[in-house]
Amino acid sequence: MLNEYDNHNIYIRHAIDEKPRLVNDDMHIHSRCEIYFFISGRVDYLVEGSRYPLKPDSLLIMRPSELHIARIVNEERYERFAINFPLDFMKEADPDMHLARAFLDRELGKDNLFTEEQLDVKLVRTLFTNMVNAKNDYDRYLALKTNLPLLLYMINQAFVDRKQSEKNSPGFAEKVVPYINQHLFEEITIPDLSEHFNYSTSQFTRLFKKNVGSAPWDYILRKRLTAARSLLHKGISTQQASEECGFSDYSSFYRSYVKYFNEAPGKSRNKK
């Protein structure tokens, strides 16, 4: 069962799979923020290499370009709400962007999860239901304008009030993912990364795929392409976008871009 609404700016859905297939979702990298509210099922969620085994009434947030993937653990009934919206939506309600702190004031893949101990999950479910079940476009507009800011306020308060426990020594993903993102557009190879972190190339590739959910080069490529697409939407030339995002060869950039986005870079630029 799927109940959804998409106005090309905000996309909200309520989905139920009575018997989900034991096939992992594809990796997701959005240009918008996402709030994902898990109702039931057995799902592990990976965000930039951080693993979140979900319990009922868990809520996850992802900011633009934050890679995430759901792993279905078994065939239990899988129910969830999700909403995608642009950062500009928060600016309309809050010009100082305090509501964006939970999305922006943290490292990639860190502090994505909120639990029923941190949020009023009954109210969260009510807010999502209000937004999904509006009967016409105008009611839906009103529901989004009133319910989503309240949901963002709750998340922001939980983020600000949450007491951080002492950090454990960093694991594989906690060390590797920030380093890659810091050097994303530089000349970078998997053998170089493996040597930097004292692994063989095969070990590094295996650990990366296990902890992050993708092969290391696929991760780097998708992140670079997503960044290039953002530059193209701002009107930057295709050649400059490819160079600024770490592609030394334009033809390989072009082929990868068409394969991933199913359109030529120049077409994306015309959509600015």
At 16-55, the pLDDT tens digits run 999 887 766 667 888 899 999 999 999 999 999 899 999 9
Question: Please, what is the average pLDDT of the chain?
Answer: 88
Q: What is the pTM of this model?
A: 0.69
φ, ψ of residue 82 in degrees (nearest 5): -155, 150
C-alpha to C-alpha distance for 177 and 27, rounded to whole angstroms: 15
| pLDDT number for residue 162 | 77
Q: Which stretches within the chain are classed as H helix?
A: 87-93, 101-104, 121-132, 137-161, 172-182, 190-196, 201-212, 216-233, 238-244, 250-261, 265-269
Residues with Cβ within 8 Å of residue 22, at least 6 apart in sequence? 72, 74, 75
Spell out the domains of the chain, with CATH numbers in brackets: 2-161 (2.60.120.280), 172-269 (1.10.10.60)
C-alpha to C-alpha distance for 137 and 265, rounded to whole angstroms: 33
C-alpha to C-alpha distance for 72 and 78, rounded to whole angstroms: 9
| pLDDT number for residue 272 | 55
Q: What is the pLDDT of residues 72-93, one digit of tens each?
A: 888 889 999 999 999 888 888 8
C-alpha to C-alpha distance for 182 and 10, rounded to whole angstroms: 30
Q: What is the pLDDT of residues 98-148, one digit of tens each?
A: 899 999 999 899 999 999 888 999 999 999 999 998 888 888 889 999 999
| pLDDT number for residue 241 | 92
Answer yes or no: is pLDDT of 167 > 50.
no
- How deeply is 190 buried, as exposed, middle or buried, from its count of CB atoms within 10 A (0-12, 13-18, 19+)? middle
